[in-house]
Amino acid sequence: MKPIRTLILIALAGPLCAQDDLKQAPAAIEKPSERGVGKPLPADSPLAPLIADSKLLVVVFTAPDCPVSKLYRPKLDRMDKEYRARGVRFLTASSSDASLTALLDARRSTEVFVIDPKGVLRYRGAVDDQYGIGYSRDAATKNLLVDAIEALLAGKAPAILATEAPGCEIERPSKPGASPLGTGKIGITFHKDVAPIFQRRCVDCHRPGEIGPFSLLSYETAKSKGRTIKEAVTKKRMPPWHADPKHGEWSNDRHLSSQEIETISAWVDAGAPQGSAKDAPAPRRFAEGWLIGTPDAVYKMPRAQKIPAEGTVPYKYFFVRTDLKEDTWVQAIEVRPGARQQVHHILVFLQYPLNRLKEQPPLDGGLFHGYFGIMVPGESPMIFPEGMGKKVPAGATLVFQIHYTTNGEAAEDVTQVGLVFAKKPVTREVVTRGIVNAMIRIPAGAPDHREEASFTFENDSKILSLLPHMHIRGKAFKYTAIHPDGKEEVLLDVPVYDFNWQTCYRLKEPKLVKKGTKIQAVAHFDNSKGNPGNPDPTKEVRFGQQSWEEMLIGYMDFVKVD
């Protein structure tokens, strides 16, 4: 039996792997003793005085620029205050403190260690299951740290002794030249080999003021993040890009080639050598202010939106009246968030004035027939080629749909939209169309449920871009063109969909499709408990705008051609 079972396991593990790597709720460790649980720390450890002085000592490893660490900070501060009165002491340890990380064999920020008055390690692992890299819940469903503390204070052993901790890998001393990939890679340096990759693929988001949690412009930060970076690139969490490179060519493609991944890994394994500044690439210049040039009109949110430090924020909607007296063709649209670090992405919709509702494109899924403008992190604004544009009807209202994500720091946001009007006649209207299925029904617990939607072109057209949209249970998405002659062609395949990234895939060359071409959008959903962000695996899920509901929308930008 055994070999067969192994085979099945491998077969099952294959396609799921990437997803598992991307998001992983804290798994219990099978042999806690192998991670030091139940064992005493050396009597002369630097923690000894603190241990002697408290009923329990909780050591928390943090890194100021690890996103998971930042998210847990407010909660850990509250625990610290509440438990102090009961004799439990919290110690925040920096994950760059080599002596403490070595003493406890700490692996990730935020990993926590609970030590009893005898100096024995009683629990290690995650705080709870609310946050991890790539997922967050409204509230924790397993309060691992609190349960461990409460059990120990009551004189009992915790039910769970050790788990893997979510967060960023802690740097540990590495041996120079010890790279398993090192053959032929001797001499890799930051300035010569790694900085050019970071410039091309990372710093759009990883620079001061942008959405990435740390800057990758300088050698010092890059070095201090070496292991985390290696993990993020080898597991393909970073840069965020989810299209299978087998299909389609994209002007905004940012995926790393296997060679680039190998270069970064080998550099980290070699101890992150700096090399000579002479070899550094010329610094990239970033434009300040509007990227579309001076807008002809700017529309702002009527009031600031407060964003809390922690938890999840439901989508927010703001209605902003335009003051346009006549129908206006727009050449460029830029959506500029105020709180860049907390604004995750924005869709802007057009609402026609009441007396012209008839002209509003069909409402296939409520508001979501197609967006007018979009902002996703790391992406340049929409500037249409000459002769193409979008039309704003006189008296239209802009509807901002904003997804805020918390990151440990409270903020306020005022988002604005800038428009550049077309100065030359527009002959091709850019249509953004959502291919929608509002009848989806995802059974409770289903790990891989398939649904589809389709759209048939009524004219010869050119497709400019594609943007799959689902919510937290979204797992995979594929657009296939079925040409009038019956030939099928995959336009975009996203085998591991990630709700955190609403990437718009822009075609390098617009794709010409003939009248009668059908675009089929196939979506897969994971409503099982194996999906760590799943708000409730016991519920059947239907179409809806709330984050606990689901969506199946394949957005598509196209122009008609004559």
- Contact positions toward ligand HEC, by CB under 6 A? 67, 133-134, 168, 198, 201-202, 204-206, 211-213, 225, 228-229, 231-233, 237-240, 254, 256, 377-378
Q: How far apart are CA 125 and CA 108, in angstroms?
A: 9
Cβ proximity to ligand HEC: between 252 and 545 the closer is 252
Torsion of CA 288, 293, 294, 299, to 10 degrees: -80
Query: Beta-carbon neighbour count of residue 456 at 10 Å?
Result: 12
Contact indicator for 350, 396 with CB cutoff of 8 Å: yes
Query: Nearest approach, Cβ of 244 to ligand HEC (angstroms)?
Result: 18
Query: Nearest approach, Cβ of 227 to ligand HEC (angstroms)?
Result: 9
Cβ proximity to ligand HEC: between 201 and 223 the closer is 201
Contact indicator for 152, 158 with CB cutoff of 8 Å: yes
Q: How far apart are CA 324 and CA 189, in angstroms?
A: 55
Cβ proximity to ligand HEC: between 503 and 517 the closer is 503
Query: Nearest approach, Cβ of 136 to ligand HEC (angstroms)?
Result: 8
Query: Beta-carbon neighbour count of residue 344 at 10 Å?
Result: 21
- Please give the backbone phi and psi of residue 110, each rounded to the nearest 5 degrees, phi first: -105, 95
Query: Nearest approach, Cβ of 53 to ligand HEC (angstroms)?
Result: 35
Cβ proximity to ligand HEC: between 55 and 235 the closer is 235
Query: Nearest approach, Cβ of 143 to ligand HEC (angstroms)?
Result: 21
Cβ proximity to ligand HEC: between 378 and 395 the closer is 378
Contact indicator for 464, 557 with CB cutoff of 8 Å: yes
Query: Nearest approach, Cβ of 415 to ligand HEC (angstroms)?
Result: 17
Structure token pair of residue 541: 């899920």
Residue keyed to tokens 């988001």: 205
Query: Nearest approach, Cβ of 179 to ligand HEC (angstroms)?
Result: 17
Q: How far apart are CA 502 and CA 495, in angstroms?
A: 14
Cβ proximity to ligand HEC: between 202 and 491 the closer is 202
Cβ-based neighbours of 3, under 8 Å, separated by 6 or more: none
Cβ proximity to ligand HEC: between 202 and 464 the closer is 202
CA angle 160, 161, 164 (to 5 degrees): 90
Q: How far apart are CA 526 and CA 115, in angstroms?
A: 38
Closest CA to 478 of 559, 372, 552: 552
Residue keyed to tokens 């060519």: 249
Structure token pair of residue 182: 């090192």
Cβ proximity to ligand HEC: between 268 and 436 the closer is 268
Query: Nearest approach, Cβ of 471 to ligand HEC (angstroms)?
Result: 17
Cβ proximity to ligand HEC: between 115 and 347 the closer is 347
Query: Nearest approach, Cβ of 312 to ligand HEC (angstroms)?
Result: 13
Query: How far is CA 246 from each of CA 243, 250, 463, 490, 493, rounded to the nearest angstrom?
Result: 8, 11, 18, 9, 8
Residue keyed to tokens 């179409």: 543
